[in-house]
Every structure is written in structure tokens, then in C-alpha cells.
A and B are shown apart, each in its own frame.
Chain A
Amino acid sequence: MAAHLSYGRVNLNVLREAVRRELREFLDKCAGSKAIVWDEYLTGPFGLIAQYSLLKEHEVEKMFTLKGSRLPAADVKNIIFFVRPRLELMDIIAENVLSEDRRGPARDFHILFVPRRSLLCEQRLKDLGVLGSFIHREEYSLDLIPFDGDLLSMESEGAFKECYLESDQTSLYHAAKGLMTLQALYGTIPQIFGKGECARQVANMMIRMKREFTGSQNSIFPVFDNLLLLDRNVDLLTPLATQLTYEGLIDEIYGIQNSFVKLPPEKFASKKQGDSGKDLPTEAKKLQLNSAEELYAEIRDKNFNAVGSVLSKKAKVISAAFEERHNAKTVGEIKQFVSQLPHMQAARGSLANHTSIAELIKDVTTSEDFFDKLTVEQEFMSGIDTDKVNSYIEDCIAQKHPLIKVLRLVCLQSVCNSGLKQKVLDYYKREILQTYGFEHILTLHNLEKAGLLKPQTGGRNNYPTIRKTLRLWMDDVNEQNPTDISYVYSGYAPLSVRLAQLLSRPGWRSIEEVLRILPGPHFEERQPLPTGLQKKRQPGENRITLIFFLGGVTFAEIAALRFLSQLEDGGTEYVVATTKLMNGASWIESLMEKPF
């Protein structure tokens, strides 16, 4: 089921197995038939860990969504609440429990906090008079969830907002805990690098946590060579730009949730059924996207412009393979052909799906508006006319294009200009409030607090220095056969990934000046290893760096890192971890505030 997790340099299936084991152990503690009441947010991430079959094996007979008043009737011995430690959820649980007591046979209640048990929540349950009703109150440390062979995410929606707007480090604490779990399974990571305030804090927490467990010496041979902790606010630019990889575009246009995407069904109407016009499916087509699918693994990280040719080549190969059956003469040959059939059929299905998806995306990318938007983005990123009111943005506002799109562009301009001139900024803000409504002043304040939108102070624009030193803009980009990470944005090389690239070679010392311009401290910590565990690298063997994006990462950045991993002479392979997989739209949306 999760074989793709073990394809990478680091077998992330080990982590998945560990968390599955923990889940089974908990379920077995509550003997007898069970019903699980879900905090709805958790179902997605849990789906990546355990399917219903696992739950069923452990006598889970019913599943409900957590909501107020009574629980639905269920003839089970145990009711287990799977929840995040949030006070508002505790109130709902209490309501459930209190209304339950009045009827029917008594049932055992349990509560599983994900990822952490909370004294605060237990206190609330106590205040509400239900704490005693729970037999087991435990925590399930599901911090980092394996998404793919080289990708882990905490799927913590509000992490960026909490860290940068509200100075709430809860998600950083979970990140540190998650890293400790990872180190328990994959050995102590000997070197920690970091850039940014949050990175510093996570490193501090890790060091502190290590001290707390000094008793238990980790004797696992270290798999990772380095850990690089990166604050999202070190690179506010990248997520604002439109991702141009295949996977990035799917996410930009349709949104990928917990590795699933929902697509408009029309293009997927089964063609074999003859005149499909009558029964067009109305339900969205749901597809899982990960490297378990061979074709997807091949094209996900390519620039979208390079996807078409791969798909048509694949189509030829597959139809050629199907043609083989005409050449199969002997019984042996036919037998062999038939044995390959399931695989070929799967490949054909996969190809059909992705051809449809590519068509859907092409409809968008060839639209005039998409082209205009991209042009403006690219102008900003290459430093053209970033200091005056942009007429495309103006027109977008006047035509009431989606607010998120407008905000994304204005923020991009601000970031690419190290802040906007007060007059320009006030103009945009006024236009937005007048057009979309005054209530968005709260959103604007949030964006300003996060540094995404700001007046230029000191009159100095640092972005050109950063752009030139880090070579963020490449004019000669090859989308088909890329030689540089800038292909993922057709010209712009993501700052975050460039930092990782430069850290691995030649080291950050070469860019001290730029590091000082970027916010937050940069640092290096060593975690000493006992001599027996020190790694002797074979010649030509790549280092493995775990790169942790605090505050979110985009698919395009992941694609760029995978590109670096695959370089012949790269020297470093990356495993990516993050608080949340995101894109510019979901990011801006998380910072929006709607008072009504």
C-alpha cells in the first residue's frame, strides 16, 4: 500500500510503520467493539497512515464526525474521540458525553489527542465535569506524516499564521518533537543548519529535548547527514509566484489535499461506454497523486511545457506495447503478453488520466489572463517596474478578480521591491478596501504584520542585491532539459532552494552579506555522535540533507530540490519536511480574516 515510501534514499516506511504500530497499540487498549468520533481535520492526514481496513481489524465498527449535541446511535462498547488538542473541540466532546449518559447502556469513552495531550484541554474537560468519564486519555504523536518517499508534512494549517502573526510556537514545538521522533528512528542528525527566528527556536528546543533524554543514548547509525531548518519568512517571495511544474499547476488550479486532488469530471467520462453524453458523471473525479504511480513520478516535477512531449511519447510506447499482441504467435508469447497486461492497462489508465489533467491545465495556461498575470509576475521577479502602481493589478481590482489573486500580486510586488513606496501601498490598499469591502483592512493588517506587504523603509531596495547574488533570475532557462532549478518557475530560481543549494556547495560563508539582509539569524549546531556511529562516506556517495520548511513549502520548491537530488554531481540528496504543503493562494487565504 505504501511501497512508494521506501523508494527513496531514506526509507520513510519505517516511520509510517512506527506510527501505525502506535495506533494499533492504542486501539487494542480499548478492548471490544469501537466507534471513532473524528475531528474532521484529522481524517485526511490519517488516511495516509491507516486505511479503514486497519481500523476494522481492530474492531472499529463505526466512524462519526465530531459535532455538537448527541452522538449517533451505535451499538459498540467503546467510543473513542480522535481530536486535536483544541478547547472548542473539548466543549463539543463534553456535550457529546453529557448527552450520552442519559440513555442506554453505559459505554466506555476514550480520547486520543493528536499530536499531543494537553493539560489545558484536560482542565477544560474537568471544568465541564466530564474528565472522569474517559478511561484512556492518551496522545498520538503524529507530527510528521510521510507523504512520499522524500516528503513529510505536519499538515498544520495555521502554522505560518501562528508563528509569524501570533507568536504562538505550538507548531514549532510539534516540529521539534517530530524531529526527535525522526532521530529516534533514523539516528541523531550530526549537523543542524538554520536560517530564521523560528529555525533558531526549533533548534533550541531540539537541543533542550535531547538534554532531557540524556539517559537513553541513541545507538542508531545516522541516516541523515544534515538538517537544514528554514523559516518561511526568509523567503516570502517563492510561494507568491505561480508554480509552473505539473504538480505545482495542479495544486495552483485544483488544490491538492493530503495527496488527493478533485477534478472536474467531464474530461474523465469513460469513453468505452459509448455515447457518454447521456450519463456524464457529476461527482468530482478524485485521484491520488504520489510516486506510487510511475508516470506521475516521472512528470510531476517537470515544467508543464515539457509534460506534453513526455505524454505523447508514452502514448506511443503503450500503444506499441498493445500492438505486440498481433505479433504474439506462440502460446508462450501470448502467455507472456497476458502476464504483462495488468501493468499495461494500469499504465494506459494512468496515461489517460494525466492526458486529461494536462488538457484541463492547458485550458488555463493558454488563457490570455494567465499569460498576462505570468508576465507581470516575471517582470516583478526580474526587477522591472516594481516601484510603481501596476496597471494589470489595477485592472484586476477594477474587474473584481478574486481578491486572493490581487493580494498575491500586490504582495509579490512588495516583496520584490523590499516594500512599496507609501503612496503606492496606500493606493493599492485603498483600492482593495473600496472594491472588496472595508472588512479586508484586517487582512491587510495581517499581511503587513507578516511582512508580505510593507512600506519601504530607509528607501533602500535590497531585492536586486539578493537577486543578483543568489542568481534568482535566469534569462536562459531550459524548460525541457533543465540545467538549473529556475525551470520550476520558468526563470525564477526559488530563493529557499538556492539557499539550500549554496549551503551544500560552496557553503554559506560565500553569501554572508545576503544572509545578513534576509531576516533572522543563521546558525550551525553540531550534535556530537559516539565514535562508533560516525559515518565514513564512500567516495561518490551523496550526503542526505533533511530540509525542514517552517511555515510551509510549495510543490515547485520540492520539485527544485528533487532536481538537485538527481544531479549527477550534486553531492546532496534531499528529504523535505514541512509544517504544511501549500501554495500562494492557500497561504494568503490562511492569513485572511473575515470578521463576519
Chain B
Amino acid sequence: MDCYTANWNPLGDSAFYRKYELYSMDWDLKEDLRDCLVAAAPYGGPIALLRNPWRKEKAASVRPVLEIYSASGMPLATLMWKSGPVVSLGWSAEEELLCVQEDGVVLVYGLHGDFRRHFSMGNEVLQNRVLDARIFHTEFGSGVAILTGAHRFTLSANVSDLKLRRMPEVPGLQGAPSCWTTLCRDRVAHILLAVGPDLYLLDHAACSPVTLPGLAAGVSSFLQMAVSFTSRHLAVFTDTGYIWMGTASFKEKLCEFNCNIRAPPKQMVWCSRPRSKERAVVVAWERRLMVVGDAPESIQFVLDEDSYLVPELDGVRIFSRTTHEFLHEVPVASEEIFKIASMAPGALLLEAQKEYEKESQKADEYLREIQELGQLPQAVQQCIEAAGHEHWPDMQKSLLRAASFGKCFLDRFPPDSFVRMCQDLRILNAIRDYHIGIPLTYSQYKQLTIQVLLDRLVLRRLYPLAIQICEYLRLPEVQGVSRILAHWACYKLLEYEPRSGEQVPLLLKMKRSKLALSKAIESGDTDLVFTVLLHLKNELNRGDFFMTLRNQPMALSLYRQFCKHQELETLKDLYNQDDNHQELGSFHIRASYTTEEHVEGRVAALQKAAEAFNKAKNDFAAKATEDQMRLLRLQRCLEDELGGRFLDLSVHDTVTTLILGGQNKRAEQVARDFRIPDKRLWWLKLTALADLEDWEELEKFSKSKKSPIGYLPFVEICMKQHNKYEAKKYASRVGPEQKVKALLLVGDVAQAADVAIEHRNEAEMSLVLSHCTGATDGVTADKIQRARAQAQKK
């Protein structure tokens, strides 16, 4: 028993502080805490670490990693941070992790690393960037306060009902304040900041200077400030190594202390217990921890490792790579019982019970002593209460045994306080287990209430434990088991609900949009996918949204389709993101027809297209696009020069139009410039001249050189224009293979027959025969029949 108070440290005459280990940490941290952004939620909540937070000097390839652990260091989630640089992390009252990015976007994650939503702290923040940020708690919820690069503050007092407030300017503020904090007064969030030797309080309307009563002289700047858990008290640490502690209303000084350390502390937090008169703050430096209160001496601890302080309702949690400890003021009941040489009734009862167990008669003596003073009920009560404040079950048991022993000698001691404490401790011990990792103290537990605790267990998906607790406490079904089962069912449903049409909207409602997306994709129901996509689009910032799409090709292509009809600019961004230069090229080509009206604009769009095609290594398309640019410019010149309509004609039609307009030279020029193949050019000219019925020119053309397409087309086109006379001119020039055809076309059946017979070509002969109609051709027909018969004889 002597050693029990070994870890008690007196602060002044009236109070003891003790520090004990909650857990040896289970996590396997590769880095020092100082290299991480850290956020730990109060009420024994989870710890978030962002490893490798964005640092300029580090290679961009090292992505930050966001990890979430229980208070005992059990991993709950790990995810690669793919969004922007994070300035600050913090937990909301609902145990949601808020990650404040440099651009003022706050991303909200669940305990299991599931993305919930995001919101922005406004344009001003976006423009000036976030210099510093705090997540704070008020009675209405959790808020975010931002200090921007322009040294202005923006805050939102409740992130679930986002109302941004830009705080007034601080007159004459040149640089960042040396320290600042949020402060809740009269249900309104304020900002207290220190600039040199001055303090200012900002509310939404004004900036007012603040003087702290009884502040020592000679302060030239403030290095740290801390507001107590209940927002009632304020402590400031000055550059003179002086600590002032007083009320947050700035009306009263409680105490002061000079620690003579001028180095700025890493952290300073209040360490006080509700309903205690003692006021103390814990100040942490690199390797030193100091508890300072209304006493000339402080309590000092050495820190072996990088440590992080978490203020709690009734003390301070301190965790490092290896351990997690709790530092608090020893509660009254414990102090009464365990203080050395205590004669308090509880202390005597504990002694009595121990002696009783040893079967010593001293037990009776102690008991008698209490009873004579009539203090047995108090003794029992003290033991019960003290048990509640003990962390170690053995000690809890021995105190409860003492209480139970004492109760035997009382007639009418109401049993419920004893029973309730037994129940509470059982629950507390269960959740403190390192598997669960919620190290609540009795006071915290009572403050939090069992309902909230159950919610938190559900949040951690610890359904069986939550149900056991409900059953153990015999909570009404509505509050207890069935509510948890509903949660559980919901969770399971999400996992196992086979009908995606049901599952996906449910997931969206539960803010599990990414899971919703993959489930929707799995179902093949594109409408469902679209629905989730549009939801995600509103929920995520653009970068994250695109990133999500990138990992889901099916969703991406659907979204592209959507953009094609609804948001063309976004479509371009999507192609850009994917380096899809081929599609970008097509995009610009479309633009050159639809969005641009003037030739120069169209050419510019085509220029972009050509560049994209070059990047896509599509040489053909790049070349074709450049040709089109050339063509457009040429067509505009032609319109200016010759009048008429040239724009958007093909090269082929441009040349044709020129010929039809009598511009033969220009036509030749264009054909050469665009390297129209000879054969097609002949077809083109032939058709155009025949359309013009310029037979003279056609004949000249036919004689310009040997036709690469032969002369049958000439015959055909003349006949098409019903000019047999011209047709006959060309029929004679048709090569032997097509001669028969040509002769038949111009209606010279007899000659056709002669040629066919000469060719001794059976097919040709029957072709001619099929053209033999009426009496006039009778002779010819006979001639062929004879030739055929002769051929058969041979």
C-alpha cells in the first residue's frame, strides 16, 4: 500500500497530481510524431496522423499517408492522401476527421477513413491560402477557424451547418500573430490573438484590445495560450517564461507562475477537474513536462520521447510512440482514502476490510472506530466513489470489496449507488480494453452519457459489445439493442443487399458515396451510376472527383457522355487529365465547326487540334488538320476575291466550283497545292465540264494527254447529258477491253457486234445480243449467232 501513492506529486499544499499509463501503444510508427500532423479526439477518441504532410523540400513522389488509430494504437484506417496540402487536422464532436487543406477546402472523413464530404471555407481563404487552422468545439458542435495568408480570420462555428464568418481586420497587423486561439463567450465563437505585447479579441463585429488583470510587467510577446476544456479559463505563456492563469472573461487572475524557461513551449493545456478548486496547466517542451498551478513549485516530468498532449475534461492524456498516459489531479475520494496516514472513514474501512481478509481482529477495531463516529455510510460512499476513479481493476475490486464489507454493518444503506458503480466499472473496463481502446475516465463517461458511448461503439462497428452493454444495463429496446441492431443491419445491408437499386440510394444517404459508386457500377445500371456521379460531383472538390473517376473507367466514360451533352468544357478537362490527345484533337475540330464563327477563330481551334494530334502521334490527322487550316484560309480569300460561297466545301468541291466559275487556272493551282491525284482530277474535270456542257473545253482536255481513266467515262458522261454526237467522238478512243461497252452505249450495235466477234469473246457477244432489239438489229443478231456457232464447231 505504501507504494500506491508513489506516483502522487503534490502541487502546493492542497492537491496531488498523478500520471499513469493507459496503454503501451500498439502502433508501429515508422516516423517521429514530430514529423506528422497529429489530431486526437477528446473523450478517449481516435488519433489521426498524417505522415509526410506536404513539404516543399520533399520529393513530390512521396505521398502523404493518413492513418487513423484507436487511443490504444490499433489501426483503424490507412489511406494515401491524394488531395491538396493539408495544414491542419482535427476531430469533430461526432468523431469525424476534418482535414483543412491549404486552399481552404475541408475534407471530412469517417473513423474508418471513409470519405464523407467536403466543403470550402470560401473564396477569400482560397485566394490567400490557409496559414493556420484550428478545429474547436462549442456547445453547438464543432467549428473551424482559419488564419489566412492575408492575416485575416474566417471561421465557421458549426461545420454541419456551414455559415462562414469573416472576422474583422486587426488594425496594424503586419505579420502573423505570435499565437491565437478560439474562445467561446456567450455562445459566440471569438478569436483571441496576441500581437507583440498586445492581445485582441475578435468577434464578428469588432476587434477589441484586451488587458489581463495583474499581468506581470515586461512582457513583450505571448508565446502560447490555452483555453480550458470548459472554456471558462485562460492561460497565457509569455516570452519572459511567465504564465498567467485567469478567467476567460479577462476579469480575474487566478494565479501566476514564473518557470524561467523562455523557450516557447510545444503545447500548453489546462489540467483541471470539474468541481475542483485547483487550477493547473500542463506545459510541454521538447523533453520536459511541467504542471503549474497556484503553488510556488511546479511538478516536473522528463519526457523520453516526442509526446503529444490531449486535454480532457478531467486531466490530460499524453501519448508518444510507445506509451499513452493520463495525468490528472487525484480525486478527492481517492486522496482521502490513500493519502498517507489518512484517518478518513473510507481509509479506515479499507483497512478494516483488509484486516478482515487476513482474519485479524484489527478489522473489528477499525470498524468500531468508524461506527463510533457514525461515519460508516460516508466510508462506504467514499470507497464506492474512489473505486470509480481507479484505472486498475484490482484496485477497483479492493475498494468495492471494502464498500461491500462496510455495507454489511449498515441497516438501510441504499444499494443502487454500489450496484450502479459495479455496472459502470464493468463497462468502463470493457471499453478501456486495448482491443477497443476508449480510455474514458468515470467523470468523462458520466459527462458523455451511455447513449453517446453506444453511438461511438456503433461508429466503430463494435456491434456485439454495444449490444452486450445494452443488455447488461437492461436499456429499453428502443434506445438500446434495437437501435444498434438497426445500425448493424444497415451496415450489413450495405454489404450484402443484393438489389443495387435499393442499396445504392441507401449508401448515398449514409454518405458512403464511393462505395455507392462501385456498387452502382457492379450492377450495370447506368442510371444508378449517373445518380451517384452527380451526387459525388456536388460532394467532392473537382480534383477529388476527377481522381475518383479516373479509378472507375466505366463511370468515367459515362460522365464523358454526360459532359458531351451538358458540359463541354468539363469534357475538355477530362481529356486533358487523361492526356487523351486524340480525343482532345477531335474536340477542337468539333469546336472549329460549332463554337467558332470567324475563320480566324476556326483556324485557331484547328491549330489546337493539330497540336493535340501531334502529341497523340497521329501524323495523318495532324497533317490533314493543317491542310484544312490552309483550305479555310484559301476559301476565305476566294470568297473575298471571287464572291460566292467557298467556305466548308471540300478540296474537291472547291476545285469543281472554280471550274464551274470559269476559273480554270485557279482550279489547277488549288489541285496542285493540295496534291489531288491525277485520276481523281480527271474525273473531277470531266464531270465539271460536262455539267457546264462545255464540249469544246472537254475535248481539249481529253487531248491534253493520255487519259489516266481511259475514255469510257467520257462516253458515259456525254450520254448522261444526252449528247450522242460528242459521245461518239470518244467511243472510238476507248481501249479494246471496253470498246464493246462504249459502242453499245452510243447505240452502235452493229459495230459492237463486229468488235465482239473479232475478240471472240463469248461474254461480249451475249452482251451485244441482249442489246439487239427489233428488226433493225436482226441482221446483227444473226451475225453473232453464226460467229458463235462457228466458235463452237472449233
Contact = CB atoms under 8 A, between A and B. Distances in A.
A442 B586 contact: yes
A398 B680 contact: yes
Contact of B560 (A85, A166, A205): A166
Interface string A363-400: 00000000000000000000000000000001101111
A438 B650 contact: yes
The CB with the most chain A CB atoms within 10 A, among B553, B558, B582, B650, is that of B650
Interface in B657-692: 674, 676-677, 679-680, 682-684, 687
A204 B524 contact: yes
Contacts of A397: 680
Nearest to B532: A119
Given A212-B500, A596-B594, A120 B524 contact: no
Contacts of B343: none
A201 interface: yes
B253 interface: no
A169 interface: yes
A400 B498 contact: no
Contacts of A441: 586, 589, 621, 624-625
Contact of B566 (A87, A212, A426): A87
Interface string A430-462: 110111111101100100000000000000000
B650 A434 contact: yes
Chain B interface secondary structure, helix, strand, loop or mixed?
A: helix
B523 interface: yes
Given A88-B565, A435-B652, A437-B648, A170 B677 contact: no
A439 B554 contact: no
Nearest to A435: B652
Given A173-B526, A208-B522, A395-B683, A166 B628 contact: no
A313 interface: no
Nearest to B676: A434
Contacts of A176: 524
Interface residues of A, number: 46
A241 interface: no
B554 A167 contact: yes
Interface size class, chain B: 35 or more
A445 B582 contact: yes
Interface string B539-569: 0000000000000011001101100011000
B531 interface: yes
B521 to A, nearest CB: 10
Contacts of B522: 208
B651 interface: yes
B624 A438 contact: yes
B581 to A, nearest CB: 12
Given A120-B531, A120-B534, A172-B524, A437 B624 contact: no
A437 B679 contact: no
B527 interface: yes
A437 B525 CA distance: 39
Contacts of B593: 439, 595-596
B624 A119 contact: no
A116 interface: yes
A242 B487 CA distance: 62
Contact of A168 (B528, B557, B620, B649): B557
B530 interface: yes
Given A169-B554, A212-B500, A435 B649 contact: no
B531 A214 contact: no
Contacts of B757: none
A595 B590 contact: yes
A426 B586 CA distance: 17
A499 to B, nearest CB: 24
Contact of A170 (B526, B531, B621): B526
A433 B684 contact: no
Given A208-B523, A433-B624, 16 more contacts: A119-B530, A119-B531, A120-B527, A167-B553, A168-B557, A170-B526, A173-B524, A212-B499, A394-B679, A398-B680, A431-B677, A434-B652, A438-B627, A438-B628, A438-B650, A595-B594
Interface of B: 498-500, 522-528, 530-531, 534, 553-554, 557-558, 560-561, 565-566, 582, 586, 589-590, 593-594, 620-621, 624-625, 627-628, 631, 648-653, 674, 676-677, 679-680, 682-684, 687, 709
14 contacts: A119-B530, A120-B530, A167-B554, A169-B524, A170-B526, A172-B524, A398-B682, A429-B620, A430-B624, A433-B627, A438-B625, A438-B627, A442-B586, A445-B586
